[in-house]
Amino acid sequence: MPHIVGVAGSLRQGSYNAALLRAAAELAPSGCQVEIGAAGAMGAAAVVEAAGGTASNAANAAAIAFQNSMGSVCDLVGGMVEIPCHTRNAVAASSAFICADLVVGGYVNPIPLDETIDAVYAVGRMMPSELLCTSKGGLAVTPSALRLVRKPR
């Protein structure tokens, strides 16, 4: 019988993932950089936990994952959380393993999680509204995306 180890214990009270969920809820207007970033950060922390890493390792892996999504636009095609969201989540999931491996392998992350979350929030506030969940910029306004939206379902 297969076992899911990626989330085992990762949302327990006091874990870094619980803190990341709270941070993501507060930062939600910052779009994909937070939604996808928080998912990747939680995944990275969960992988560290499953691998037996320390709390410090989990926080650093989460920080690195969040750092790598900072500034991402939220450009929902047709206003639906589908394109490009599903592929961005897939990339964040695979990146979570890399971030965890880096930290457990000895990489020293110079920017801690708390400062990273503050920076993500600041960047989100600086981004134009067209790039934050409005479908008014990025991939959402490409000719192919606009053709998808016009197709009858």
Query: What letter would DSSP give residue 132?
Result: B
Query: What are the residue boundaries of the structural domains of the chain, listed by start?
Result: 16-150
Q: Cβ neighbours of residue 15 under 8 Å, at least 6 residues apart?
A: 9, 45, 49, 58
5: pLDDT strictly greater than 80: no
- CB crowding 99-122: b at 16 or more within 10 Å, else e: bbebbbeeeebeeebeebbebbbe
Q: Is the distance from CB of 71 to CB of 33 less than 8 angstroms?
A: yes
Q: Tell me the per-residue pLDDT of 11-65, one tens digit each, with 9 for 90 and over.
A: 444 555 556 666 666 666 667 777 888 889 989 999 999 999 998 999 999 999 9
SS3 (DSSP) at 52:
coil
Q: Tell me the per-residue pLDDT of 117-128, one tens digit each, with 9 for 90 and over.
A: 888 888 888 889
Token pair for 46: 């969960």
Q: Is the distance from CB of 30 to CB of 120 less than 8 angstroms?
A: yes
